[in-house]
Structure 1
Amino acid sequence: MKYKNFYIENYGCQMNISDSDIITSILLNHGFILSENLDKANIILLNACSIREKAELTLKKRLEQLKFCKKNKKIWIGIIGCFSKEIKNFFCKKKMVDFFVPPDSYREIPNFIYYSIMGMQYLSYIKKRNETYADISFVNVKTKQNNKKITSFLSITRGCNNMCTFCIVPFTRGRERSSDPDSIIKECKRLYKNGYKEVTLLGQNVDSYLWIEEKNMNQNQKNVVDFSKLLDLLAKEIPMMRIRFSTSNPHDMSNKVLEVISKHKNICKHIHLPVQSGSNKILKLMNRKYTREEYLFLVQQIKNIIPECSISHDIISGFCNENEQDHQDTINLMNEIKYNYGYMFSYSPRPGTYAYRKLKDNVPQHIKKKRLQEIIDLQRKHSFYRMQEYLGRVEEVLIEGESKKNNQYWYGRNTQNLIVVFPKKFFNIGDYAYVKIKNTTSATLIGELCI
C-alpha cells in the first residue's frame, strides 16, 4: 500500500498516551510507518477526549485547521479514543473525518485505514467488552532528539464501574476489567530490558484492580490478585524499575496498598487522590461514594504510613447546585491538606452523563470562573509552601531530558513526582543523580549535583 505514514496527536489524559502506544505498536506490526512530522504523514490520528469540554473544543479547532491540508494532498483523518456520540455525529455532518475507532476496536484500526483509503466504510460490529490489550508489547520509538523514552504508561484496567454523575468514561470506555497480572509483569520486565526506567500503571481507578483465576475447580481454589498484591509482585520482580500509578479513587484505596508502597523503595511515594469537592452535599450529588470526613481520614492514613508521600488532587468547581458554602468547604479542605499540586477545572456538562440528564447546570459561568480562580490561587500558594520543604534536601532524580527553558540543564523527577532541574554534568538521560535543592518555584525544584 502506498500511503503508510501515520501521525498521532493526543487530546486528554495519560490513558490516551498509553492508548497511542498501543495503536502505534499495532500499526508498526502491520507495516505502517510512524512519522513525527505531520507534513510527512498521510494518515492522521487524533486521540480524542470527551471528559472535559475544553478538550473537545480544542479537537474541533484542530480539525478545522486540518481540513485545509486535505485540499493540498491525500490524507485520511481518523478519530480514536474517548469520543462521545455527539462529537461523532458533529464530525459526520461536517464530513471532516474518514473513520472513527472506539477504545475496544484498536486491533481493527488497520482495516479502518485500508477501507478508508479505498474509499469505503469499515464498521467493526464485534464489541470486545473484555478487551485489555494485555498482549500488546509497546515499541520504544526514538524521539526527535534521537533519544529513546525511559518512562512508559501501562494500562492495567480499562473502563470504570463508579458511575460518577459528571463522568462519561463508563459510556465511552465501558465497564471495568483488569489485565492478567502475569501479562503485566511480563510487559514491565520487557520494558525494563528495553531501556525503560519507570512505568506508570494506569486505570480510571487502579485501586479496584482485581484478577481472579480458578486454580482448581473441584476444590474451589482461586488465585486472587488485588492491587496491593500486584504492586508487591512488581516491586519484587523488577527491583531496579520505578513504579508509579494513577488514578486512585478514595473509596477503594486500602491500608494494604499504603503498606506495600511504604515497604518498597522502587514504588514512588506519590498518590494522585482526586477529591472533586470538599462538600458532602456535592460529593453525594457527584456519586463519589465517600464523605469529606472519610477522605480526610484517608489522607491522615497516608501521612501516617508513608510520611514522605506527596499528594495531588482533582477538583471541579461550580458543579450543579454548588453554593458559596460548598465552595468554602472545598477551600477549607485544601487549607487542611495543603496538596503538593493539583488539576483544577470548572464544571462543564458532558452529554450522556447522569448530571447532564437529571441535574441542572445552575451555577453561572462567571461564578464558576471566580471560584476556580480562587482554587487555583490557593493551590499555587500551597504548592510553593510544599516545595519550600525540600530546600537543602538531597533528592534522587531520574533524568528524563533537557529542561525546556534551558538546554544547559537536565530535568527529571524525584520519588514524589516533583520536577527537578539542575546543571548538566557527567550524566545522561536515564541515569539517576543526587541533587541538592537550592531554590524552588511553585512548580519546580532547582538544585545542583552532589558530587
Structure 2
Amino acid sequence: MKRYHIITFGCQMNEHDSENIAGMLESMGYVLADDPFKAEVVVLNTCSVREHADKRFYGMLGQFKKRRDENKDTRIVCVCGCMPQQPRVQDEIKKSFSWVDVVFGTQTIGDFPRLLNDRISTGKKQFSITANNSIVPDEKESKRLHKHKALVNITYGCNNFCTYCIVPYTRGREKSRSLEDVVCEVKKLVADGAIEVMLLGQNVNSFIDDKGNTFPTLVRAINDIEGLERIRFMTSNPKDLSDELIECYRTCEKLCKHIHLPVQSGSSSVLKRMNRRYDREKYIDIINKLKSACPDIAITTDIIVGFPGETEAEFEDTLSLVEYVKYDSAFTFIYSPREGTPAAGFSDQIPYDIKHERFERLNEVVNKYSLEKNERLSDKTVKVLIDGSSRKDDKSYSGRTDGFKLVNVSSGRDITGQLVDVRITECKTFSIDGVLA
C-alpha cells in the first residue's frame, strides 16, 4: 500500500491546493497516512507571507534530512507552494537541500502526477516552477477535507502589489474563472453533500470573467443554488468592495453575516506607503455602509504593526480605528520584511522592541472587543455548522456560527456536518461554549 502525507503552511488558498494535490495522489493509488514519517510520499506545501512559516518549513525539512542521513530514508519528499516561486528559495533548495526529490510551484500543480512518476521511474530530481498563462487546472480530482463544506477558488493571483506583500510575485497575475464554471462546481459540491462554500481568491472583489460577470453577480447566482445553506468569501481588498456587493448582504439570504476586510493600518499615510490604494476615510465609509446594510454583521480584519516608518501617531491611528470599528476579531502581525518586496528596502525599519510593544498594545484593544462581541451571544440560541471533534475535549464538537465565531458544543452523539441549534453557555475571547438547544 502506497501512502502519502501533506503538510500545509499558510492560507486557505494553500489548504485548497493541498486538497487538489491529495486528490491527484489518491487517483494514483496512494492512501492518506496520519504520520508523515509513515508515508512513502510527503508533500510540503509552503507559504511565503510570514517569516514564521519560512522557519517552520526549513525546520521540517531538517527533520526529513536527519531521518534520511540516519536511516537511509527512501521516502520521496516534495516541496511546493509559494516559497519555491522565489528565485532565492529555488537557489537555496538546489544548493542546501539538493536531496529534495520534487519541487513545483503554484502554477504547475497540474504537473505534479507527471513529476512524481518521472522521479519514481528515472530516479532523477524533478523541478518545475514556470507555467504558461493558463489558469491552473482546478477541482478535477480534489479530495475535500470536509463533506459538509468546501473551498472554491474563483480567482488566482493578485495584481495589487502592496509594498509589503510577496504574493503577486509567487502566485502570478490575477485571473478569474468563468461564472458558469464556478456555479457548476458549487452545484456538484451541494449534490455531494456540501451546505457551505467559501469562495477563495487573493482579492475576490476583483473577480470578473470573460463575459464581464462581476463578483456580486456570482454571489447572487450561487445564492440561487437549491440545497446550499451558507456562502462565505475570503479575502477582500477594501479598494474594490462595491456598493453592489454590500447590497448582497441585504438581498442574499445565504450570504453569511460576516466579512473579513483587511485594513492593515488605520493611518492613511501608512496605507499610502503600503500601496493599499484606499485611505482611512474610505475604509470607515465602507464599514458604515456594511453595518447599515447588515446591522448584525461580524467584521474581522488583518493588521500589521511596525511597518517601516510607522510613527507613534500613525500607530495610534490604528488603535483609534479598532476602537471605532470594534472588530469581532483580528489577525495581528508584526511586520517582517519579505525579500523581493519594495518595503523590504525601505530605510526606516522599526526596531523590534518598538514593534513588539505596539503589538501587545494592539492585541489588548482587539481582544477587549472580541470578548465584548462574543458576550453579546450569552444565553442566546444560534445556528452552528459543526466541523468535527473539538480540540477542547473528546466529548465536544467545534463549529462556526453565521458570523464565523468558533463554538465548542457538548454532545453525546456525533454531530459532524450538521447545522444545529446551540444555546450559548460561556463566552471567552477566542471561542464560545454551548450545548445543543
TM band (smaller chain)? over 0.9
The superposition leaves residues 57-87 of structure 1 with CA deviations (integer Å, 9 ceiling, x where unpaired) of 1111111111122232201211101112222
User: 1:87-139 CA distances to partner (integer Å, 9 max, x unpaired)?
Assistant: 22222221242221101101111222223333224344762223142452423
Counterpart selection for 2:137 from 133, 138, 153: 133
Structure 1 segments unaligned to the other structure (5+ residues): 142-147, 214-223
Partner of 1:419 in structure 2?
406
2:17 corresponds to which residue? 19
Q: Is the 8 A contact 2:108 2:129 kept in 1?
A: no
1:193 lines up with 2:191 in the alignment? yes
**d(CA) in 2 for partners of 1:291 and 1:271?**
19
Q: 1:242 to 1:137 in 2, by over 3 A?
A: farther
Say which of 169, 172, 176 aligns to 1:171: 169
CA distance in 1, matches of 2:112, 2:82: 15
Q: Which runs of 4+ in 1 moved over 6 A?
A: none
Mapped to 2, the partners of 1:74 and 1:49 lie a distance apart of 26
Q: Who is 1:240 aligned against? A: 228
1:254 positional shift: 1.0
Match of 1:321 among 309, 323, 326: 309
Query: Which residue identity lines up with residue 192 of structure 1 in the other structure?
Result: V
In the TM superposition, residue 419 of structure 1 has moved relative to its aligned partner by: 1.0
CA contact (8 A) 1:111 1:122 kept: no
Task: Say whether the 8 Å CA contact 2:196–2:228 is kept in structure 1.
Answer: no
Change (3 A) 1:126 1:346: closer
The residue number in structure 2 matching 1:251 is 239
Q: CA deviation at 1:34?
A: 3.1
Q: Deviations over 1:194-213 (max 9, x none)?
A: 22222111100001010123
* Within-5 A mapping of 1:350-369: 350-357=338-345, 359-360=346-347, 362-369=349-356
Matches within 5 A, 1:81-120: 81-83=81-83, 84-94=86-96, 95-117=98-120, 118-120=122-124
Per-residue deviation, 1:185 = 1.4
The residue type paired with residue 233 of structure 2 is: F
Confirm or deny: 8 A CA contact 1:4 1:31 kept in the other structure.
yes
Q: Give the direction of change, closer, same or farther, for the CA distance of 1:5–1:352 in structure 2 (3 Å limit).
A: same
1:379 and 2:355 correspond: no
Verify the 8 A CA contact 2:46 2:79 in the aligned structure 1: yes
2:284 maps to 296
Look up the match of 1:218. Answer: none
1:256-291 CA deviation, whole Å, 9 max, x = no partner? 112213322221111000000011111000000000
Q: 1:54 to 1:327 in 2, by over 3 A?
A: same
Which residue of 132, 148, 153 maps to 2:151?
153
Q: Distance in 1 between matches of 2:8 and 2:15?
A: 7
Aligned residue among 371, 395, 399 for 2:386: 399
Question: CA offsets, 1:164-193, max 9 Å, x none?
Answer: 000011100100001122221121122222
Residue 428 (str. 1) matches residue 415 (str. 2): yes
What secondary structure sits across from 2:240 in the alignment? coil
Residue 407 of structure 1, CA deviation: 1.8
Offset of 1:414 from its aligned partner? 0.8
Within the alignment, does 1:370 sit opposite 2:357 as a pair? yes
Q: CA deviation at 1:343?
A: 0.6
Aligned-residue offset at 1:242: 1.5
Further displaced range: 245-254 or 27-36: 27-36
Find out whether 1:441 has 2:410 as its counterpart.
no
Matches of 1:86 and 1:415, distance apart in 2 = 42
Partner of 1:206: 204
* Cα distance in 2, alignment partners of residues 31 and 422 from structure 1: 37
Match in the other structure for 1:144: none
Question: Measured at CA, do residues 131 and 76 of structure 1 come closer, stay the same or move farther in structure 2, by a change above 3 Å?
Answer: same
Q: Are the counterparts in 2 of residues 134 and 180 from structure 1 also a CA contact under 8 Å?
A: no
When the two structures are superposed, what TM-score results if normalisation uses the length of structure 2? Answer: 0.94
AA at the equivalent of 2:82: C
Q: CA deviation at 1:328?
A: 0.5
- State the identity as a percent: 34
CA–CA separation in structure 1 for the residues paired with 2:348 and 2:335: 8
Q: Which shifted more, 278-287 or 348-357?
A: 348-357
- The answer to whether the Cα contact below 8 Å between 1:239 and 1:266 also exists between their aligned partners in 2 is no
1:58 to 1:299, Cα distance in 2 relative to 1, 3 A = same
TM-aligned CA deviation for residue 412 of structure 1 = 1.2
Q: Report the AA paired with residue 148 of structure 2.
A: I
Q: Which has the larger displacement, 308-317 or 76-85?
A: 76-85
- 2:246 alignment partner, SS class: helix
- Check conservation: 2:104, 2:127, Cα contact below 8 A: no
Residue 210 of structure 1 aligns to a residue in which SS? coil
The answer as to whether partners of 1:409 and 1:423 remain within 8 angstroms in 2 is: yes
| Deviation of the 1:352 alpha carbon | 1.1
Aligned partners of 1:208, 1:13: CA distance in 2, in Å? 19
